[in-house]
């Protein structure tokens, strides 16, 4: 066999093998030298030429010890060579060599004995520059320490996305040991659905070579599936110096603390936004039912999937809230769900009256005046928040898993209970949610209590005001009279509007409409005084202007109130009607043929101002004529000019009605946009030939 046959491998022997460049060998510049048994050079690699300076032609056939070793070290080197040849044991070490240019270089050697197929022995010497090896060793050591001690997770995966190596930090992130990673695929270690996209991006990086930097991942580690973590993941492809793809490097930074802090800040901002929204939307009107509905609309879906608001029946009946401790009676006022669900069937419908058993959380809230939360509700817990077995079954079927009940407390009294549950929302209620619910419930409770007391005060004032208005009289000489009073719909207090029909001697009738500026019980009381004074003055047979002059003096003594008034005195015998006004809107005269007109009367100052005399004017009311007296609440709005509103009033009055009663009702019903912030007094008198004095039964 020739030397070539000994030391080369034919092409047929390479089949099935793959070639992979040795990057580390190239980096170290490892030189290979084959020595015959007597120490002569048999083969000389290109790296040997670079390391020692001799070409293969110059080195092959010469004794290596004479070629490379200084005289002082030659004997030792020859002895080591002979020992390797004799024992077959490898030797590694370093010693200085002499290069061709005469310079000395410390070289690291590893010598081993080889035997060919003929039984001849050779020495294979591998050599590299000692300084280069030390640099590489230091770099490898530093890199290893950098990776192993780094708080940043680092891993290398092959082209099949199997873990080849990783540092302890990444193992801690995943909650799995380093050894349990090796050989397993990325998805085998992290099977969660949130990591499917990362796997796809890994394959994309392998295919394209484009790195991915700071991919934000939120998921759950295998070691703690209940705890949410966050990582910033970067990926880049690994290649050798020839461009062959080796795999992929993964760099992972655990940003869970930052993620949780950001999530907490976001939750805080959301809570503030919900509170601000609740402040703006809860209590827009002084109505208990509307306020309760607004509360439910705020908490769903921002805080809960389903909300139920029940108010104690005693509160709605305007009794002092004193529910029995064992079984309080509620009335459901609001049920709101974020989506269609069977859970709605499990709770009382709005308007239903329900008595909860003593173990129900709503009853418990009433007794303890404290909120109660069930973060993770089981079957037994659902029975405590339902009205019966069927209700509990519906709640379970709807997926309800978390619940809290919060009492609605204002001024130390419990008014009702707000119940909230979660079903589709995966997260359970926590203490922050409970605090937010309590904040909203407290604000709503104050609004509910204000609405409750407002209704009581309003009812009292309205009762007082109506008691001060005249009762319908069966007979008025020569007149068919109808009157209406409508309180303001959107004001916290009643007003001071009034009307009066005063029968007098000699078949005369005084018709009065007035408006005390202001609202509330004080305004109603002032109105009562003026009405009483008007009735007294009417009995004195005074002209309308004189009546208003006396009322003006009386009103000045009722500071700070002023009032407007129109006073008409009708004589059924002569059909004459004398009128005077004090800062009041002009009456309307509707003639028998249906044509209306605003009466152009001398306009006096409001009562209580003083300084300007009042004047009276006369008109004649023939049978069929209608005289319309009213307060400003009938025609004034905040948007339209008063002239347009008066024109609309005339248009409506131009339509005939069978009776003045029906005309009153139609005006209040059809006059659009009348100021709901002001009350209305309306009086219509029609001259009636059938009610002439001489025809009185």
624-676: per-residue pLDDT in tens? Answer: 999 999 999 899 887 888 899 999 999 999 988 889 999 999 999 988 765 56
CA distance 588 to 178: 97
Mean pLDDT of 478-485: 92
Domains and CATH numbers, the chain: 3-133 (3.30.450.20), 150-254 (3.30.450.20), 265-457 (3.30.450.40), 469-695 (3.60.40.10)
At 682, which helix (H) or strand (E)? strand 680-687
Average pLDDT, the chain: 86
Number of neighbouring beta carbons within 10 Å of residue 338: 16
- The torsion of the CA quartet 527, 532, 534, 537, rounded to 10 degrees, works out to -160
User: Does 5 have pLDDT greater than 50?
Assistant: no
Percent of the chain with pLDDT over 70: 88
Encode 371-408: b = buried (16+ Cβ within 10 Å), e = exposed.
Answer: bbbbbebeeebbbbbbbeeebbbbbbebebbbbbbbbb
Whether the bond between 402 and the residue before it is cis, its omega within 30 degrees of 0, is no
CA distance 590 to 682: 15
Percent of the chain with pLDDT over 90: 48
38 exposed, middle or buried (CB, 10 Å; 0-12, 13-18, 19+)? exposed
More confident residue, 471 or 415: 415
| 544 alpha carbon, distance to own chain's centre | 64
CA distance 425 to 403: 12
Q: What is the pLDDT of residue 494?
A: 63
- 290-293 contacts, C-beta under 8 A, 24 or more apart: 291/444, 291/447, 291/448, 291/451, 292/333, 292/334, 292/416, 292/444, 292/448, 293/333, 293/334, 293/336
Mean pLDDT of 77-91: 89
User: Does 437 have pLDDT greater than 80?
Assistant: yes
Asked whether 604 and 582 are in contact (CB, 8 A), the reply is: yes
Residue 580 DSSP code: E
Mean pLDDT of 243-254: 90
Q: What is the pLDDT of residue 503?
A: 93
């Amino acid at each position: 066999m020739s030397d070539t046959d000994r030391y080369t491998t034919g092409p047929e022997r390479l089949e099935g093998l793959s070639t992979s460049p040795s990057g580390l060998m190239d980096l170290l510049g490892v030189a290979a030298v084959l020595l015959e048994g007597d120490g002569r050079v048999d083969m000389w690699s290109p790296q040997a030429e670079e390391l020692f300076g001799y070409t293969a032609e110059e080195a092959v056939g010469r004794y290596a010890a004479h070629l490379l070793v200084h005289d002082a070290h030659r004997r030792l080197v020859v002895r080591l060579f002979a020992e390797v040849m004799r024992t077959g044991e490898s030797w590694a070490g370093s010693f200085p060599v002499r290069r061709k240019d005469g310079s000395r270089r410390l070289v690291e050697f590893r010598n081993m004995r080889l035997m060919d197929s003929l039984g001849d022995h050779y020495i294979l010497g591998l050599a590299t520059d000692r300084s280069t090896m030390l640099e590489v060793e230091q770099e490898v050591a530093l890199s290893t320490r950098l990776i192993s001690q780094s708080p940043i997770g680092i891993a290398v995966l092959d082209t099949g996305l199997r873990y080849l190596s990783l540092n302890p930090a990444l193992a801690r992130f995943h909650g799995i040991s380093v050894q349990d990673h090796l050989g397993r695929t990325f998805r085998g270690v992290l099977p969660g659905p949130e990591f499917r996209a990362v796997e796809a991006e890994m394959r994309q990086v392998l295919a394209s070579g484009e790195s991915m930097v700071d991919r934000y991942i939120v998921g759950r580690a295998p070691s703690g599936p209940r705890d949410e973590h966050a990582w910033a993941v970067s990926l880049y492809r690994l290649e050798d110096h020839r461009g062959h793809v080796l795999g992929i490097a993964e760099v992972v930074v655990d940003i869970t603390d930052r993620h949780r802090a950001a999530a907490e800040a976001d939750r805080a901002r959301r809570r503030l936004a919900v509170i601000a929204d609740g402040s703006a939307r809860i209590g827009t009107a002084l109505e208990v039912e509307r306020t309760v509905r607004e509360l439910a609309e705020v908490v769903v879906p921002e805080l809960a999937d389903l909300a139920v608001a029940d108010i104690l029946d005693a509160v709605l009946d305007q009794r002092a809230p004193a529910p029995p401790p064992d079984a309080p009676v509620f009335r459901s006022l609001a049920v709101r769900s974020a989506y269609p669900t069977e859970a709605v069937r499990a709770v009382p419908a709005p308007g239903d009256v329900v008595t909860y058993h003593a173990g129900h959380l709503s009853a418990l809230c009433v007794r303890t005046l404290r909120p109660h939360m069930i973060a993770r509700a089981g079957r037994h817990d659902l029975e405590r928040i339902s009205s019966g077995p069927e209700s509990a079954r519906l709640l379970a079927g709807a997926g309800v898993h978390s619940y809290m009940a919060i009492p609605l407390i204002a001024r130390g009294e419990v008014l009702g209970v707000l119940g909230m549950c979660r079903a589709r929302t995966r997260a359970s209620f926590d203490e922050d949610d409970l605090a937010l619910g309590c904040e909203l419930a407290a604000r709503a409770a104050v609004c509910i209590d204000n609405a409750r007391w407002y209704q009581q005060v309003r009812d009292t004032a309205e009762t007082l005001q109506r008691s001060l208005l005249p009762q319908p009289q069966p007979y008025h000489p020569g007149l068919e009279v109808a009157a209406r009073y409508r309180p303001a719909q959107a004001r916290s207090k009643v007003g001071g509007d009034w009307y009066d029909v005063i029968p007098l001697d000699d078949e005369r009738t005084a018709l009065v409409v007035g408006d005390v500026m202001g609202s509330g019980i004080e305004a109603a009381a002032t109105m009562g005084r003026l009405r009483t004074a008007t009735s007294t003055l009417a009995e004195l047979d005074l002209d309308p202007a004189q009546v208003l002059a006396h009322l003006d003096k009386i009103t000045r003594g009722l500071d700070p109130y002023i009032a407007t008034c129109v006073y008409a005195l009708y004589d059924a015998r002569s059909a004459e009607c004398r009128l005077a006004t004090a800062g009041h809107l002009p009456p309307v005269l509707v003639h028998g043929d249906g044509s209306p007109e605003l009466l152009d009367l001398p306009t006096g100052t409001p009562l209580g101002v003083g300084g300007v005399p009042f004047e009276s004017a006369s008109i004649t009311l023939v049978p069929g004529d209608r005289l319309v007296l009213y307060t400003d609440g009938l025609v004034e709005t905040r948007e339209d000019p008063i002239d347009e509103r008066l024109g609309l009033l005339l248009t409506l009055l131009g339509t005939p009605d069978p009776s003045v009663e029906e005309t009153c009702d139609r005006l209040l019903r059809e006059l659009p946009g009348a100021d709901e912030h002001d009350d209305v007094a309306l009086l219509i008198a029609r001259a009636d030939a059938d009610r002439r004095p001489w025809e009185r039964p």
